Amino acid sequence: MLLKIPQRRRRAISLTPLIDVVFILLVFFMLASSFTDWRHYDIGTGGNSGTSSELAVATVAITSARQWSLDGQPFSGPNALTAELTNRTQAEPELTIVLQPAGELPLQITLDALDAIKSAGITKISLTAFTTSGTLP
């Protein structure tokens, strides 16, 4: 006796779920990515470019209470610092800045200070640790 086994009908694979998954992944990666403007800071190592008596040096200190000062003179923030440094660079074009942020400060405050210094047209920047006495370590 010959039995006929009904053949299963092949279903076509639907692409709709695949498109849904791809769309969900696209939305996820769009929301998870950051569109931050990344900046580049060249930080060179120290060298013997001259003696300290030849250099015009100004010290920018930022305390843990977020108080800004330039050579001991208090400033309200990065905008005032940029204005004062712009004035100083006109008199001393080869001005070197020693930046002393407190260790407890968020990194963004230090980057704001670097932006303010670079906005004033100063390229020679030294980053050092802040001391409570306000002197270089």
- What residue ranges do the domains of the chain occupy? 56-127
What is the distance between the alpha carbons of residues 60 and 69, in angstroms, rounded to a whole number?
A: 6
The CATH number of the domain covering residues in 56-127? 3.30.420.270
Note the pLDDT of residue 135. 47
Edge-to-edge strand ranges of the sheet holding 125-127: 73-75, 68-70, 56-62, 95-101, 125-127
61: tokens are: 């200190």
pTM reported for the whole predicted model: 0.56
Q: Print pLDDT tens along the chain (137 aa).
A: 677 777 777 777 788 889 999 999 999 988 888 776 666 666 665 555 555 556 788 888 888 888 888 888 888 888 888 888 888 888 888 888 888 888 888 888 888 888 988 888 888 888 887 666 544 44
Contact 62, 78 (CB under 8 A): no
| 100 bridge partner residues | 61
What is the distance between the alpha carbons of residues 133 and 119, in angstroms, rounded to a whole number?
A: 28
